[in-house]
Amino acid sequence: MDLVLLASVGGFFALRTTPVPGGGHQPLEQLYAGGNGLLAARVEKVAARLAAPERRVAASIAHLGLAARLWSLALGPAALFGRVPALTPGLLHWDPLATSPDDLWLAGTEELPGTADSVREQIQYGHLVPLAEAFRRDGNISPRLLWGNAGSALAGAVRELLAFARVHDRPDVAARARALAAELFDDEALRGTGAPHGPAFRRRSCCLYWRCPGGGLCGDCVFDRAPASPATGR
């Protein structure tokens, strides 16, 4: 698998296979098992960087960023190579204090078929379900918002792959990315997060980024303009 080519799609697709000397990486399984110190550190870092007015705003943005990284690490290889690395929580290491995109490295070389079922099993069930549970343990954030983030992150990864395919004249990559997205969105947890289920996705919930100073609205935001009251931003 050509990791240099994968990284060329964009920063969220980069994957290292060696640790950074002196880095603070821990297997994601520690977070999912209840090690919320890692998550608290990440949320606090995001809150400070964005001057977030409320913890759940920073938590949502932190969750969205990590969800985007996770989808990208599976969708990218699936679309480019027809294979995906085995991204199990025990092998995928995360540094919560690194800058965005979230810094990850993989301790393992196993590869799996690049099918939607494989991507769903690894990312949605293997990571996003326990990740949502971890964020729910950390604070007051709704499941609807978290799954909206997951849908938005999935659509965003597809947009990046389609942009890469246009620039590099790879219609095969675009076709595989679209097909994978169609299958992945055909799931109870993701189906209602927004529409259409592709690059033009518009979500049905809000990630709350607009509440940060100078935040504005995301390109797929449910709102046409920022709400007048923070109470309507959920």
Confidence at 230, pLDDT banded by 50, 70, 90: very low
Instruction: Indicate whether 197 pLDDT > 50.
Output: yes
Structure tokens at 126: 């293997």
Can you give the residue ranges of every domain in the chain? 3-232
pLDDT reported for residue 228: 66
**Beta pairing partners, 27:** 93
Task: Tell me the three state secondary structure of residue 201.
Answer: coil
Please state, in angstroms and rounded to a whole number, the distance separating the CA atoms of residues 200 and 202. Answer: 7
Q: If you average pLDDT over every residue of the chain, what do you get?
A: 91
Quick count: other Cβ atoms within 10 Å of Cβ 214?
A: 7
Q: pTM for the whole thing?
A: 0.92
